Amino acid sequence: MGDQVYEGGWREDLRHGRGVQVIDAASKVCLLYGYTRYEGDFQHGIRSGQGRIELTDGSVYEGRFDMNQRHDPDGNGRSG
């Protein structure tokens, strides 16, 4: 995909380990995913572990991710 760039670890052709994903803010991919940048842990191609995500509305979430979802300190999951 030309709309995004990923630098980081790979395992079995999937993002795995620490990495940075940057998505072109003008792309349809960005509109679909709802964020422009994620820096953190990946497991088997999905966001999982500690990370920081910059959303398209300008807000930032830094914390835990599980199965591509943000998780608040109280354990509640949130999409994005």
Mean pLDDT across the stretch 52-78? 85
Least confident of 7-16, 24-33, 38-47, 62-71: 24-33
What pLDDT, on a 0 to 100 scale, did the predictor assign at position 31? 82
Strands (E), the chain: 4-11, 14-23, 35-43, 46-55, 60-66, 69-71, 77-78
What pLDDT, on a 0 to 100 scale, did the predictor assign at position 79? 57
Among 38, 52, 40, residue whose Cα is nearest residue 16: 40
Write down the mean pLDDT value for the chain. Answer: 89
Predicted confidence (pLDDT) at residue 22 exceeds the cutoff of 80: yes
Model confidence, pTM: 0.84
Half-sphere exposure of 62 (CA within 13 A, CB side): 1
